[in-house]
Amino acid sequence: MFKIRFRTLRFIVIAYLVLLSQASLVNMMTLKSIKPDFVLLLVIFFALHKGMRQGMFCGIILGFCVDVLSSGILGINCLILGCVGFFTGMLKDRVYTAHFLTKILVPFCACLFSIIIYYALALNFHRLMPFSENLLPFIGTLIYTALFNIIFFNVLDKLVIERTTRLL
């Protein structure tokens, strides 16, 4: 029982640090105003390891936190990350998570999905740039986030998975 609680607590701490970094330290890695989406990567990581249900709830909670930190509409990121968690969770036991390609392709597809949903939803509330003008930032975000995931997953693997195995 203690082990489960300890693992949950550790994940909450990691999630909190990732959220804070996304609104501050990640700006150090900005290339042409594009930064990697660490929160999305964390949801993908969690969903791939825990499955649909946990992935979705993790996405909803982290998405809510992103909405609180953002100037956008409350609920948009909540919904997007919830969906990402849900659909990525479906891939649990279907893909080999340690494979190099999984680490690139899954975030790439999830990021593409999140951009499309964001665009479709945000058009109701915000005024967004025409899709054609935003194409380069979109592609940049997709590639940057997907490539950065190799490092991100390796760090999380060391922090979460390896330590958990040692504890068990």
CA angle 10, 59, 130 (to 5 degrees): 135
Strand partners, 34: 31
State how far the Cα of 145 lies from the Cα of 31, in Å rounded to an integer: 12
Strand partners, 31: 34
Structural element, H or E, at residue 109: helix 100-122
By beta-carbon proximity to another protein, the closer residue of 44 and 56 is: 56
Is residue 12 close enough to count as binding another protein by CB under 8 A?
no
Is residue 82 close enough to count as binding another protein by CB under 8 A?
yes
Question: To the nearest whole angstrom, how small is the minimum distance from the Cβ of residue 133 to another protein?
Answer: 7
Is residue 53 close enough to count as binding another protein by CB under 8 A?
yes
Phi, psi of 37 (to 5 degrees): -95, 95
121-140 residues in contact with another protein (CB under 8 A) are: 121-122, 124-129, 133-134, 137
109 touches 91 (CB < 8 A): no
Question: To the nearest whole angstrom, how small is the minimum distance from the Cβ of residue 137 to another protein?
Answer: 7
Binding positions for another protein, rule: CB under 8 A = 16, 19-28, 30, 32-35, 37, 39, 52-53, 56-57, 60, 64-79, 82-83, 86, 118, 121-122, 124-129, 133-134, 137, 141
